[in-house]
Structures are given as C-alpha cells and as structure tokens.
C-alpha cells in the first residue's frame, strides 16, 4: 500500500517549531519534511552551525531484505559498489571532485538499511546533490569490477572473522533465527559471499529493486536555505524513477525452547559469553522496546550493580556491555561479557541471568528509574551539537520511523515508563523459552 506521502505528491508535510515553542521536545530543531512525487522523502534542517552541510541518504535495504536463498550480503555489497562511479563521473573523477571540495564521505550497512553520508562546505551543496543523484540513478560497473569487489568483500569477511566477538555474534544470529533474514549478518553467509563473483546478473536486479526513490530518505542539515535546497533536490532527484518491488520478509515463529551455542576458537583468546532474550521491534508508540532500553541502562550499564560487581569488585570481566539494538522487526536483546578466565564463564553467565530474572521479580526503585530516564534524555540532547551529529541521528531514526517526530515520540514514551512497566516487560520477554546463550573459548 502506498504511504500518504507517496499519494499526495510534492508537499510540505510540516515545518516544526522553534526550540522556544517546543521546550518539551527532545529534538529542538526546526525542520521541513517533503515528499517528491516519485516517493523520495526529504528532510531539511537549517542550523546555526556555520559553513558546513551534512548530507545523509538512507536506503531502506539491509540484510533484512535479502530474502532469496543464496543471495545474502548484497545490501553490504552495494555499500561498496556505489563508490565505483558512473559513465559521467567514473570513480577517479568522482573522488577528485570530493578531494578538491574537501568533502568527507563514507557509508555503512545495518540489518535494516544502508546509509551514505557526506560532509562538505555549504558552497558545494549543489555539486554534492548532483554527484549523489548521478550515482544513485546511474551506477555502472563492469563484470570485472563486480568480481574484483566481490573478492574484496570476501577478504573483509575473513578479516572480520579473525575477531572472536564478530564470529560469536554471527553464530548467535544464525542459531537465534530460523526463518527471518536476521539469521545472517550484514556480511552474509560465507557460502554466499564465496559465490558472489558468479552473481553479476543478480546484482543488477538487486540495484534495480532497491535503489529507488520510494526506498530512500534524504537528510540535509547545516548552513543552508530551505527553499533553495529543496529546489536543488527537485532539479537533480525529481526524475529518479519509482520502482515496484516489495520484499516479502518472513516472520520469525515464536521461540519454543532456550538456545545454547558455542564457538571453539582455534587460537588463544579470552573467553566470551553472550546472554539474552528475544526482544521486541522498534516502536515510537508501544512501550516494549523503550522499556528494554531503560532495562539496559538500569541493569547492565557502567552504573549498574552488576557492572560494578563483575568488572570492578571481582574483576572477572574486562569487557561488559549490553546490546539492545533497535530493529524494524523483533530482534534479540543481549549482554556481552569477556571473562578473564575460562572458568569464569559459568559464574558470569549465572550473574547475568540472575540480573535479568531480578528485573522481572524485583521492582526497580523509582529513584533509579528517574535517574536513568533523565540520563537517556540529556545525554541524547547533548550529542546534537553539530550539523553532522544531527544528520546522523536523524538517519538512524528515519530508517525505522516516518518523520523526525519519531525522535520526540520515543522520548515521550521513555518519559511515560513506570516502575510497573519495567517489571511487566521483563516478565513478558525474559522467559526461559526465549533465552539465548552463546559462548566462545579457546579450543587449545
């Protein structure tokens, strides 16, 4: 079904208030939200930070969208291929323009989206919008280029696999999901990466499916004029042709038994333990994922009693952190610990499991909850101190939500979370049948 933005053509959805009129908003900047007739969403945020502009472009395709067997890893693959150039601007010419402009550019791929970002002087806004429009609409590469990059990706996979934690997380994801495409990491299954050099024709199809305006959100933040910026976007991006593909993402069935998996590491290494549960999807309305974020900070952050016990007092662990990541579909919420000795794995696992259980049985103090919610809010607000940080933050939220109001909505949900909500959500999600435990230790 088409969204409202797609149906109404080019419109200004809203100009959101100045900070003075919205002092209860965690995202205080005036923004403009527009939709081109072809489906491209454009968010423009003029700021008072001088001279610089940050351009972030989300493409809502990640490993989640890789639904065909044998074809994992292509979202990440295109993060690489998008730098190969076009007929008009081959890679060498493209890079020369960026260098002469002093522009900083990069990209990243997640489970749910791919993001391309560039920061540059305001004088180069038109040039950058033109360059990006060209490669998003006219990317071109040869079979030889494709195969060269595919081999480079295999090298990246092998490099990542030399990191014990990367390998453990790959194993955990594969065991945790049976049908959903979160089963594989953004890199993809090794067997698919090895076969990538043979998939040139499929790569063209993947690009044709997802590099379309209805899958994209452009975020432009900085020292700019809104009307002029939107005019340039329309000039260079308005003819980008809408596609028609929609991926059928398989739903993950409920987990019915606890999952335990182990990786024997072939070299000496400190052991890891990952403990977690199947968690909820991101929402800026429901309390589930927001409460998970609160639990993450209450129970497993550096200010938590468990961190103090394992890292500072007993010194059984030298790395300890939660990973409660927002995802479009239900994912896992986990705590990761690196133990100093193999014999510490079991007691550390026991302590983490006990802490999860305590969240369901013992109410958190109102004071602790208030302190955590305050820290979530004000640490977030303090990060929005330059145009690039604002654009990067918007990119992560807009990949999962519809408008910048998603940010305000999420923080309103945080504000509404009660002691009873924390206990209720812990009881809902931290159950034995939804548990995942993954360990890694040296096999020597």
- Could you tell me where the DSSP H helices lie in 336-386? 345-361, 366-383
Q: Are 81 and 139 a contacting pair, CB within 8 Å?
A: yes
Whole-number Å distance between alpha carbons of 107 and 115: 5
Asked whether residue 296 falls in the same domain as residue 226, the answer is no
93 pLDDT higher than 50: yes
In whole angstroms, give the CA distance from residue 191 to residue 199: 13
pLDDT of residue 10: 33
The overall longest dimension of the chain from CA atoms, in Å, is 64
Supply the pLDDT for residue 24.
72
Helix ranges restricted to H, 19-73:
none
Say what the pLDDT of residue 300 is: 98
Provide the pLDDT for residue 145: 94
pLDDT of residue 237: 98
Q: Which of 10-19, 331-340, 381-390 has the lowest mean pLDDT?
A: 10-19
Domain boundary among 205, 237, 269: 237
Domain annotation covers residue 323: yes
Whether 78 is covered by a domain: the verdict is: yes
Reported as a single tens digit per residue, the pLDDT across 23-80 is 578 999 999 999 999 999 999 999 999 999 999 999 999 999 999 999 999 999 999 9
Residues 227, 272, single domain; the answer is no
The verdict on pTM exceeding 0.85 is yes
181 and 326 belong to one structural domain: no
Any idea what the CATH number is for the domain that residue 117 is in? 3.30.830.10
HEC states along 152-219? Answer: HHHHHHHHHCCCHHHHHHHHHHHHHCCCCHHHCCCCCCHHHHHHHHHCHHHHHHHHHHHCCHHHEEEE
pLDDT tens-digit series, residues 268-292: 999 999 999 999 999 999 999 999 9
Q: Looking at the structure, do residues 227 and 303 belong to the same domain, yes or no?
A: no
Q: How many Å apart are CA 340 and CA 258, to the nearest integer?
A: 26
pLDDT digits (tens, 9 = 90+) for 379-417: 999 999 999 999 999 999 999 988 999 999 999 999 999
Same structural domain, 232 and 267: no
Q: Give the domain extent around 288.
A: 259-442
State how far the Cα of 405 lies from the Cα of 417, in Å rounded to an integer.
Answer: 19
Could you tell me which residue, 245 or 17, shows the higher pLDDT?
Answer: 245
Q: Does 251 map to a domain?
A: no
Same-domain pairing of 280 and 142: no
Q: Which residue has tokens 């990491």?
A: 185
Res. 14 pLDDT band, cuts 50 70 90: very low
Task: Please give the tally of structural domains in the chain.
Answer: 2
Same domain, residue pair 231 and 292:
no
- Order the strands of the 272-278 sheet from edge to edge: 259-265, 435-442, 272-278, 332-339, 317-324
Q: Is residue 254 part of a domain?
A: no
User: Domain check: are 168 and 290 in the same one?
Assistant: no
User: Is 50 exceeded by the pLDDT of residue 363?
Assistant: yes
Q: What torsion do the CA atoms of 84, 88, 89, 91 make, to the nearest 10 degrees? A: 30
Helices 288-300 and 405-416: crossing angle in degrees, nearest 10, is 60
Please calculate the CA angle 354-358-360 and round it to the nearest 5 degrees. Answer: 125
CA distance 264 to 444: 9
* 247 in any annotated domain: no
**Does residue 7 have a pLDDT over 70?**
no
Residues in contact with 242: Cβ distance below 8 Å, sequence separation at least 6, in sequence order? 38, 39, 212, 213, 214
361: β partners: none
Sign of CA dihedral 380, 383, 389, 390: positive
> Does residue 248 lie in a domain region?
no
Provide the pLDDT confidence category of residue 443 given band limits of 50, 70 and 90: confident
Range with lowest mean pLDDT among 11-20, 86-95, 188-197: 11-20
Q: What is the 3-state secondary structure (H, E, C) of 281-338?
A: CCCCCCCHHHHHHHHHHHHHCCCCHHHHHHHHHCCCEEEEEEEECCCCCCCEEEEEEE
Choosing from 237, 268, 303, the residue where a domain stops is 237
Q: Are residues 226 and 289 in the same domain?
A: no
Same domain, 217 and 308: no
Q: Classify residue 243: in a domain, yes or no.
A: no
Which one of 204, 237, 270 terminates a domain? Answer: 237
pLDDT tens for each residue of 109-134:
999 999 999 999 999 999 999 999 99
Query: pLDDT tens digits, residue range 147-164?
Result: 999 999 999 999 999 999
Provide the percentage of residues in the chain whose pLDDT is more than 90: 93
Q: For residue 248, give the nearest of 179, 154, 173 by alpha carbon.
A: 179
Answer yes or no: are the C-beta atoms of 127 and 101 closer than 8 Å: yes
Q: How far apart are the first and last CA of the chain?
A: 55
Residue 67 included in any domain: yes
Give ∠ CA 372-376-380 in degrees, rounded to 5. 160
Q: 269 and 207, same structural domain?
A: no
Residues contacting residue 379 through CB under 8 Å, at least 6 positions apart:
none
Question: Do 63 and 182 form a contact (C-beta atoms < 8 A)?
Answer: yes
- The mean predicted confidence, pLDDT, of the chain is 93
Same domain, 224 and 269: no
């Amino acid at each position: 079904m088409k969204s409202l933005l797609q149906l109404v053509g080019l419109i200004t959805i809203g100009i959101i208030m100045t900070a003075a009129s919205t002092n209860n908003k965690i995202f205080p900047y005036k923004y403009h939200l527009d939709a081109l007739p072809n489906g491209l969403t454009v968010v423009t945020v003029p700021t008072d930070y001088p001279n610089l502009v940050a351009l972030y472009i989300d493409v809502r395709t990640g490993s989640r969208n890789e639904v065909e067997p044998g074809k994992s890893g292509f979202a990440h693959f295109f993060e690489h291929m998008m730098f190969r150039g076009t007929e008009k601007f081959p890679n060498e010419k493209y890079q020369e323009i960026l260098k002469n402009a002093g522009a900083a550019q990069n990209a990243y791929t997640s489970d749910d989206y791919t993001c391309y970002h560039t920061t540059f002087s305001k004088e180069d806004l038109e040039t950058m919008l033109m360059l990006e429009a060209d490669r998003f609409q006219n990317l071109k590469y040869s079979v030889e280029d494709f195969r060269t990059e595919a081999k480079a990706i295999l090298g990246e996979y092998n490099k990542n696999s030399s990191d014990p934690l990367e390998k453990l997380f790959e194993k955990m994801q594969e065991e945790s999901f049976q049908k959903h495409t979160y089963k594989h990491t953004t890199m993809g299954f090794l067997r698919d990466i090895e076969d990538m050099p043979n998939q040139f024709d499929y790569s063209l199809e993947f690009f044709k499916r997802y590099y379309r305006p209805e899958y994209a959100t452009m975020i432009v933040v900085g020292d700019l004029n809104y009307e002029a910026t939107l005019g340039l976007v329309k000039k260079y991006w308005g003819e980008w042709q809408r596609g028609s593909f929609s991926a059928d993402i398989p739903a993950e069935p409920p987990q019915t038994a606890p999952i335990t998996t182990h990786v024997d590491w072939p070299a000496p290494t400190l052991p890891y333990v990952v403990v977690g549960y199947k968690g909820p999807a991101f929402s800026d309305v429901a309390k589930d994922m927001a409460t998970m974020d609160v639990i993450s900070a209450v129970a497993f952050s550096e200010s938590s009693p468990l961190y103090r016990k394992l890292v500072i007092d007993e010194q059984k662990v030298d790395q300890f952190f939660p990973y409660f990541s927002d995802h479009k579909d239900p994912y896992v919420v986990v705590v990761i610990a690196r133990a100093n000795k193999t014999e510490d794995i079991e007691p550390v696992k026991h302590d983490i499991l006990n802490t999860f259980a305590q969240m369901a049985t013992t109410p958190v103090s109102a004071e602790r909850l208030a302190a955590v919610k305050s820290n979530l809010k004000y640490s977030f607000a303090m990060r929005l101190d330059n145009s690039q940080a604002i654009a990067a933050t918007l990119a992560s939220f807009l990949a999962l939500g519809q408008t910048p109001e998603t940010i305000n909505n999420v923080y309103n949900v945080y504000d509404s979370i009660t002691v009873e909500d924390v206990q209720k959500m812990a009881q809902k999600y931290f159950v034995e049948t939804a548990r995942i435990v993954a360990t890694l230790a040296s096999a020597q």
